[in-house]
Structure 1
Amino acid sequence: MEQTINQRIDAIISSLNMNQKVFAESLGKAPTVIYNIVNGRNKPGFEIIESLLKKYPQINSSWLLTGEGEMFTTTPILTPPTPTSDSYLQEYLKKLEERFEKLLSQKDKLIESQQYLIEHLESRLGKLKGVTDGAKVLPLWSKKIVKKETQARA
Structure 2
Amino acid sequence: MNKTLDERVLRILTFIESKGGAAVVSRTIGKHPQAIYNIEQGKGKPNFETLSLLKEAYYDLDLNWVFTGEKSLQAKSATNERDIEYLKQENKLLRIFLREKGVDLDI
**TM-score higher than 0.5:** yes
**Residue 8 of structure 2 corresponds to which residue in structure 1?**
5
Matches within 5 A, 1:93-132: none
Between the aligned partners of 1:29 and 1:59, the Cα distance in structure 2 is: 17
- Which consecutive unaligned segments of at least 5 residues does structure 1 have? 76-154
Structure 1: which 4+ aligned runs deviate by more than 3 Å?
A: none
CA deviations over 1:71-102 (Å, ceiling 9, x no partner): x9234xxxxxxxxxxxxxxxxxxxxxxxxxxx
Matched residue, 2:49 = 47
User: 1:27 maps to which residue?
Assistant: 29
Q: Which has the higher contact order (CA 8 A, sep 6+)?
A: 2
1:28-107 alignment runs, 5 A limit: 28-69=30-71, 73=75, 74-75=78-79
Q: Which has the higher helix share?
A: 2
- Equivalent residues, number: 74
Report the Cα distance in structure 1 between the residues aligned to 2:21 and 2:45, rounded to whole angstroms. 19
Larger Rg: 1
Indicate conservation of the 8 Å contact 1:8/1:64, yes or no.
yes
User: Match of 1:130?
Assistant: none
Shift of 1:59: 1.4
